[in-house]
């Protein structure tokens, strides 16, 4: 099995890319398995959060499998890279937040997939890079998300040089949201999961879709889309229920203080 999925009673799923002997790199079979795992999760009505990780601590995803790519031709290259894009799209269209747990190497296609996640937490000894130009190909598909995370200049440096950067630089650049010591990585991911579980699930799903829309809309249209999203949220009983609970708790606190 190249991709394994587990779920807990909270609606939190963990998807593990499991090719540890090869730094969890993606060949066609592993990519298809990853897409299938996210498709199955997306249909789960009680799903709240997904954690994406690699098997072991040597890599989250070390890239696309060079052994597989070495045999590509102009006739087969499009299909292979489209498969990598579909992996990234599976994360972006997942109806709940996806957290990328970055341990060890996150390279090439792995970094494109991490960029497609909603949030990224890395161990302090993690490494990141887009080394495709060093093996004769450009960085493509969801590498297009990198300028929104780290800016155009840093994207150019990462893609054109193919250099590998450490976790401290990745955090400073905005490539990851948080870095922690390796032994604290799971605890940090769990703390982020807890924060997400405190949000209304309907609101969280709407917010994820809205953020994705904002990426491609001009400001005026983005604002209008936000107004539509606000109205959409009131089609659910969630706002009234959660605001009612908040106000009741506030009244209780004031009563205790009086």
Contact (CB, 8 A) for 111 and 144: no
Look up residue 132 and give its two tokens.
Answer: 């495709």
H helices then E strands: how many in the chain? 11, 10
Q: Which two tokens stand for residue 162?
A: 């193919």
* Rounded distance between C-alpha atoms, residue 199 and residue 201, angstroms: 6
- Does residue 232 have an active-site annotation? no
Inter-CA distances, 185 with 18, 26, 96, 179, 229, Å: 18, 23, 21, 8, 34
Annotated catalytic residue: which of 32, 57, 132, 171? 132
**Measuring CA to CA, which residue among 95, 144, 135, 137 is closest to residue 116?**
144
Q: Of 112, 215, 235, 256, which one is the catalytic site residue?
A: 112
Give how far Cα 41 sits from Cα of 3, 14, 50, 102, 128, Å: 13, 10, 9, 21, 27
Question: Does the active-site annotation cover 163?
Answer: no
C-alpha span between 170 and 130 (Å, rounded): 12
| CA–CA separation, 193 and 98 (whole Å) | 10
Residue 23 vs residues 110, 116, 135: alpha-carbon distances, Å: 10, 19, 17
38 contacts: CB under 8 Å, gap ≥ 6: 15, 50, 90, 91, 94
> Among all residues, which ones are annotated catalytic?
112, 132
């Amino acid at each position: 099995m190249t991709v394994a999925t587990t779920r807990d009673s909270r609606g939190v799923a963990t998807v593990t890319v499991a090719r540890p002997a090869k730094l969890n790199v993606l060949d066609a079979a592993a990519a298809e398995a990853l897409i299938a795992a996210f498709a199955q999760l997306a249909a789960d009505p009680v799903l709240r959060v997904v954690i994406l990780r690699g098997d072991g601590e040597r890599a989250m995803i070390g890239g696309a499998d060079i052994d597989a790519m070495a045999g590509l031709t102009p006739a087969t290259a499009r299909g292979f890279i489209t498969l990598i894009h579909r992996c990234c799209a599976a994360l972006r269209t997942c109806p709940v937040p996806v957290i990328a747990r970055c341990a060890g190497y996150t390279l090439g296609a792995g970094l494109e997939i991490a960029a497609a996640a909603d949030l990224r937490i890395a161990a302090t000894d993690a490494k990141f890079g887009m080394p495709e130009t060093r093996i004769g190909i450009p960085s493509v598909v969801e590498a297009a998300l990198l300028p929104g995370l780290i800016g155009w200049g840093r994207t150019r440096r990462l893609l054109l040089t193919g250099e590998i950067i450490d976790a401290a630089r990745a955090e400073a650049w905005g490539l990851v949201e948080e870095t922690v010591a390796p032994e604290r990585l799971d605890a940090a991911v769990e703390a982020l999961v807890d924060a997400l579980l405190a949000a209304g699930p309907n609101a969280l799903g709407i917010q994820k879709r809205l953020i994705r829309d904002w990426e491609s809309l001009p400001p005026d249209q983005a604002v209008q889309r936000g107004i539509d999203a606000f109205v959409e949220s009131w089609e659910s009983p969630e706002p009234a229920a959660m605001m009612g609970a908040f106000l009741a708790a506030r009244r209780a606190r004031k009563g205790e203080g009086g």
